[in-house]
Chain A
Amino acid sequence: MLEVRGLVKHFGGVRAVDGIDFAIRPGEVFGLIGPNGSGKSTTVNLVCGLYAPTQGQILFQGQDIARVATHKRLSLGLARTFQNIRLFTNLTVWENLWMAENAPAHRAEAGFLKRWVGGRGNARERISQALEFSGLAHRADDLAGSLAFGEQRRLELARALAARPRLLLLDEPAAGMNAEEIAQLDERIRMLQQQGYTILLIEHHMELVMAVTDRICVLNFGRKIAEGTPAQVQADPAVRDAYLGTGA
């Protein structure tokens, strides 16, 4: 599904990502973890096109997308959420979801004009499904900025899903959530996997990562230090060193 080969990103003299390889198989939940500053977020930003890599390839379904414009990656089937939620706070919940209308999944259903200058009628059914899934139906007409934190996270996920992507990038979806919300997130990720989504999960919350992922890639200082199932990774001494310091 997604394969990263020899990915390198330098910011001036800082080697944020320094030669990473991993491959995500269709249908799996793939975890990307590592201590702060290990290059996780940079990797995600490279995959979804906010940065151009210094070197290396990003293959998505066999196609090298390293130089494809950011907005086109959604059409290829790549949607994301952000670590620090990025909603259109002055648009309503409904309108936020409406923005996904340009995704390829919707193009088949609505022509160019309907997609761009069409009224709300065309999209009503699709969007009410997305609202239902995220439990935000009762807040459809409220401004996204007025939502509670947990609701904003759910809306952002719903917006990514509304594009019906093949690969979903979740950048620290559990950040700032309480135990109950994390349990819901756990459930939701499993549900998405059952529905056939492939997921790249970047997360600090280890309990969640270990519970929902199939395989994990561990980064430290921009390099991959381990890869494998949650159990393998947990047993790896290099991973323990990275998290707890050498000799722990």
Chain B
Amino acid sequence: MDFYYSLAQIIGFHALLGLSAYVVLLTGQVSLAQAGFFAIGAYVAAMFTVLAGWHLVPAMLAAGLAAAAMACIVGFPALRVRGLMLVIATLAFGEAVRLFFFNFDYQVAKGEVKVGPLGGEGFRQIRWFPEHGWTGLDVMLFVWTVVALVAGALWWLDRSRFGAVLRAVGEDELAAQSVGLNLTAVKVTAMTIGGFIAGLGGAIYAHYTTHIEHSNFGVLLATFAIAYPILGGLRNVLGTIVAVIFVQGFLVEGLRFLGDWRNLLFGALIVLAMNLRPNGLIDAATARRLARLFGREARRA
């Protein structure tokens, strides 16, 4: 059973990572910086719980805010460039963050041992969950509560005018400007929200794995982040979550029995999924079908 709890936790923080990229992607920005924000969240939260002895929840919020602040700062210069240039700029930022943590030492003596991030060796002993006696089930429920809150907030945001504004900017910047939308403000806000969500995800990740190091937050993770909303479709947040379950639950874990062949099939299945469902796993037609299904049930009830 612990295996499934653990898998659900992995899916949980990857879902947060995917949702952070989803918000940014709505405005038409392909950002490879999400892994960097995730890393900031992971290190900041771990430092608060391990070094400062904070409770996890305020530490997570601090991690989210730190990542959001960084996203806001990065947003201004980065969003002046578009398309491929933005991809490169955000990629460079992500790598810069990774290399910062590669060189980041901040160790404090705690009793007999020294704790804290130690450069290339990473940050060990992030043991808030076991120290407080949380079981795998508790952690899983906690992770999914956070995912549900974030997804719910985004769902609501999507249905408010701001959601339509994000999509409008993503679709036609020129028209968006001429209906009075401030492109910079909208894009930076989206980036900041995305940074906050990635920070929360990173905070959970650090405490799930108990040991983080710079190499966890490389290009691969950034690619995953952007792949989820692209694969899931931008119709609504559910698409991204379904994509995370598909990738982490089925492709990464479900195919483990294939051994070395897994990675080959992994790539092939993503290509196949994108070809069969070019508008995402949950596209407009599926969304309508689901709505009808739920609508009918609601009427019956």
Residues of B within 8 A of A118 (CB): 160-161
Bitwise, B150-175 to A at CB < 8 A (1) or not (0) is 00000001011110110110011011
Residues of A within 8 A of B164 (CB): 88, 91, 95, 98-99
Q: CA separation between A163 and B178, bound complex, in Å? A: 10
State whether B179 touches A159 (Cβ < 8 A).
yes
In the complex with contacts A82-B175, A88-B167, A99-B168, A117-B180 CB distance below 8 A: no
Say if the beta carbon of A28 comes within 8 Å of chain B.
no
- The verdict on A74 contacting chain B, using a C-beta distance below 8 Å, is yes
Interface stretch (choices A100-108, A188-196, A224-232): A100-108
Q: List 26 A-B contacts (CB under 8 A).
A: A50-B174, A50-B177, A70-B178, A71-B177, A71-B183, A74-B178, A82-B174, A86-B174, A86-B178, A87-B172, A87-B175, A88-B168, A88-B171, A88-B175, A90-B171, A95-B164, A99-B164, A99-B165, A99-B168, A99-B180, A99-B181, A102-B180, A117-B157, A117-B162, A119-B161, A123-B161
Given A71-B183, A117-B160, A117-B162: A91 in contact with B178 (beta carbons within 8 A): no
- Mark each residue of chain A from 70 to 98: 1 if its CB lies under 8 Å from any CB of chain B, else 0: 11101100011010001111110001001
B184 CB to nearest A CB, Å: 9
Q: Which residues of B contact A102 (CB under 8 A)?
A: 179-181
B178 in complex: contacting residue of A80, A117, A119, CB < 8 Å: A80
Q: Which residue of B lies closest to A50 (CB)?
A: B174
Q: Does A133 contact B (CB under 8 A)?
A: no
Count contacts between A and B, CB distance < 8 Å: 83
Q: Please name the 10 residue pairs, one residue from A and one from B, whose CB atoms are nearest each other, closest first.
A: A74-B180, A86-B175, A70-B177, A117-B160, A95-B164, A99-B179, A88-B168, A102-B180, A71-B182, A117-B162
Whether B157 contacts A100 by the Cβ 8 Å rule is no
B70 at interface (Cβ–Cβ under 8 A)? no
Task: For the complex, give the distance between the alpha carbons of A159 and B178 in Å.
Answer: 10
Q: Is B176 an interface residue (CB 8 A)?
A: yes
- Interface membership of A115, Cβ < 8 A: yes
* Candidates A50, A71, A89, A101; contact of B161 at CB < 8 Å: A101
CB pair B180–A103 under 8 Å, yes or no, is yes
17 more A-B residue pairs beyond the given contacts A99-B165, A102-B181, with a C-beta to C-beta distance below 8 A = A48-B178, A50-B177, A69-B182, A70-B178, A71-B176, A79-B178, A82-B175, A82-B178, A86-B172, A88-B164, A90-B171, A91-B168, A100-B180, A103-B180, A116-B161, A119-B159, A119-B161
CB distance from B291 to the nearest CB of A (A): 12
Smallest Cβ-Cβ distance to A99: which chain B residue: B179
> Cβ of A115: which chain B residues have Cβ within 8 Å of it?
161
Q: Which residues of A contact B167 (CB under 8 A)?
A: 88, 90-91
Count of chain A residues near B, Cβ 8 A = 33
Shortest C-beta distance, B207 to chain A (Å), equals 31
The size class of the interface chain B forms with chain A is 20 to 34
B residues near A, CB below 8 A?
A: 157, 159-162, 164-165, 167-168, 171-172, 174-183
Q: Which of B171, B174, B181, B183 contacts A91 (CB 8 A)?
A: B171
Contact residues of A between 44 and 70, Cβ < 8 Å to B = 48-50, 69-70
The residue on B at minimum CB distance from A162 is: B179
B-side contacts of A87, CB under 8 Å = 172, 175
Most buried by B among A71, A103, A115, A123: A71
Within the assembled complex, what's the spacing in Å between the Cα atoms of A48 and B164? 23
A121 to chain B, nearest CB (A): 11
> Chain A, 189-229, contact with B by CB distance < 8 Å: what is the 0/1 string?
00000000000000000000000000000000000000000
- B189 nearest in chain A by CB position: A116
Chain A, residue nearest B159 (CB): A119
Can you name the residue of chain A whose Cβ is closest to the Cβ of B164?
A95
Contact with B along A159-193 (1 / 0, CB 8 A): 10001000000000000000000000000000000
Interface positions, chain A 111-140, Cβ under 8 Å from B, are 115-119, 123
- Chain B's closest residue to A90 (CB) is B171
Distance (whole angstroms) from the CB of B1 to the closest CB of chain A: 41
Whether the Cβ atoms of A88 and B161 lie closer than 8 Å is no
Docked pose: A98 CA to B166 CA in angstroms = 13
Using Cβ atoms and an 8 Å threshold, which residues of chain B touch A70?
177-178
Cα A5 to Cα B29 with chains together (Å): 38
Residues of B within 8 A of A123 (CB): 161
- In this complex, which of B161, B162, B164, B180 has the most chain A Cβ atoms within 10 angstroms of its Cβ? B180
Chain B residues near A98: list those with CB within 8 A. 161, 164
| A88 and B160 in contact, given A71-B181, A74-B179, A99-B181 (Cβ under 8 angstroms) | no
Given known contacts A117-B157, A117-B160, A75 and B178 CB-to-CB distance under 8 angstroms: no
> Contact flags (1/0) for A32-53 with B, using CB distance below 8 Å?
0000000000000000111000
Q: Chain A contacts of B174 at CB under 8 A? A: 50, 82, 86
B204 → chain A, closest Cβ, in Å?
26
Distance, CA A94 to CA B168, complexed state (A): 13
